[in-house]
Chains A and B, each alone.
Chain A
Amino acid sequence: MHELLPLFHIWVYLQTQPLLWLTVTLCVWELARALDIRARHHALSNPTVMAITIMAGLLLLTRTSYQTYFSGAEYIQFLLGPATVALAVPMYANWPVIRRNFLAITVSLTAGSMVAAGSAMLILHLLHAPRMVIVSLGPKSVTTPIAMGISQDLGGNPSLTAVFVMITAMFGILIYPFVFSAGRITDWRARGLAAGVAMHGLGTARMLTIDETAGAFAGLAIGLNGVITSLFLPVMIALFGI
């Protein structure tokens, strides 16, 4: 132990700096991408899911608090803002298609979003989950920054919501190919829109790597779903008597 003391001091010092966990997050991401390439982008392989699993494992193993980790990782999370704005580029590229289908998009998206949020909250309610958990789960299909804001407004726990958003998206990423074939959903516009509604940015990231039109529809769904969910969720919660 005595000869390890200097190492311990370095470790303690690094905990106070953003450098360590910022670097670790980027390295874990590169590792996860390498694994995804090794797996030849298999449907069940996703770099984000793998990176989160490895990262969470590292934090538990080193007994690092999320607060300490986030002091470094927040620089990465900050880029979600400009990345959301950047969605305007694929959206503009597909503007003629989107404008032509505006009614279809709005109706499909609102219906899907309401069914997803409503069924999730009803199941939790019937199984006697506490109100805080139900409200935190409501906005789970909305992109993280929007979901956290909605959750806070309705009396949920924003960081729990962030976790639900992630779990939903990860689950969605794993099963969407099977759902699309089961529902015979072959149209790339329908696929993109559904992926954007069910798994927000993670779905969009995946769609962008497969088909640009699907990516544009997914990106559009993120923004619209955020707006629509923030409008109907308070009403839905009141109606359910939660």
Chain B
Amino acid sequence: MIRALAILLLCQLAGTVLQQGFGLPMPGPVLGFVLLVVVFLYTGGPGPALRDTAQGLLRHMGLLFVPAGAGVVGELTVLKQNAVALLIAIPVSTVLGLLVTGMLMQWFMRREGGADA
């Protein structure tokens, strides 16, 4: 488990170094994710320990958003001042985003006639 965590952090570190070094718009963890996919493609995938640790982290991903979400208490004034605009903009744009992505993707999948994976 520690070795698996070290691998994940090494990828994140490498991604962060790349991002800082080249001034890339992608954050370090995202570059680390891309790096690890590339490593898997060359090595034939993760070992059982890495797979278990990764799945364990991902199963509890919902917890990892709680600290940022609780930040709402610090922004109550701005939220109140723009409440009406935000109450329209967020729902409308979220529904549109879901619909456009989902329907386009489904259209592509049907056109190819591929069965559900």
**Once the chains bind, are A52 and B72 in contact (CB under 8 Å)?**
yes
Contact partners of B94 in chain A: CB under 8 A: 116, 141, 168, 171-172, 175, 198-199
Query: Among the listed B41, B73, B101, which residue makes an inter-chain contact with A112, where contact means beta carbons less than 8 Å apart?
Result: B101
A221 to B40, CA, bound (A): 19
A69 to B67, CA, bound (A): 8
Query: Among the listed B62, B72, B89, B112, which residue makes an inter-chain contact with A120, where contact means beta carbons less than 8 Å apart?
Result: B89
**Once the chains bind, are A111 and B100 in contact (CB under 8 Å)?**
yes
Contact partners of B40 in chain A: CB under 8 A: 88-89, 92, 95
Interface 1/0 per residue, B16-41 and A, CB below 8 Å:
00000000011111101110110011
**Once the chains bind, are B41 and A51 in contact (CB under 8 Å)?**
no
**CB closest chain-A residue, reference B85:** A127
* A contact residues, range: 35 or more
In the complex, identify which listed stretch (A9-17, A37-45, A99-107) lies at the interface while the others stay far away: A99-107
User: Are A172 and B61 CB-contacts (below 8 A) given A56-B73, A190-B105?
Assistant: no
Q: How many residues of B contact A (CB 8 A)?
A: 76
Q: Smallest distance from the beta carbon of B90 to chain A beta carbons, Å?
A: 6
Judged by a CB distance under 8 angstroms, whether A205 is at the interface is: yes
User: Are A88 and B33 CB-contacts (below 8 A) given A112-B97, A145-B27, A187-B105?
Assistant: yes
User: Are A66 and B61 CB-contacts (below 8 A) given A116-B93, A162-B68?
Assistant: no
**CB closest chain-A residue, reference B44:** A92
Q: Smallest distance from the beta carbon of A67 to chain B beta carbons, Å?
A: 8
Chain A residues 101-152 with CB under 8 Å of chain B are 101, 103-105, 107-109, 111-113, 115-117, 119-121, 123-124, 127-130, 133, 137, 140-141, 144-146, 149-150
Contact partners of A55 in chain B: CB under 8 A: 66, 69-70
**CB closest chain-A residue, reference B16:** A81
Chain B residues 48-80 with CB under 8 Å of chain A are 50-51, 53-55, 57-59, 61-75, 78-79
User: Are A83 and B61 CB-contacts (below 8 A) given A89-B55, A171-B90, A191-B102?
Assistant: yes
Contact partners of B26 in chain A: CB under 8 A: 146, 226-227, 230
| Chain A residues packing against B (C-beta within 8 Å) | 25-26, 28-29, 46-48, 51-52, 55-56, 59-60, 65-66, 69-70, 73-74, 76-77, 79-95, 97, 100-101, 103-105, 107-109, 111-113, 115-117, 119-121, 123-124, 127-130, 133, 137, 140-141, 144-146, 149-150, 157, 159-160, 162-172, 175-176, 179-180, 182-183, 185-191, 193-195, 197-199, 201-202, 204-206, 208-209, 213, 215, 221-223, 226-227, 230-231
> Could you name 22 residue pairs across A and B whose Cβ atoms are closer than 8 Å?
A55-B66, A70-B71, A77-B64, A81-B28, A81-B29, A82-B5, A85-B29, A86-B54, A88-B40, A127-B85, A129-B85, A130-B82, A133-B85, A133-B86, A179-B99, A180-B102, A189-B105, A193-B102, A198-B98, A199-B94, A206-B62, A222-B30
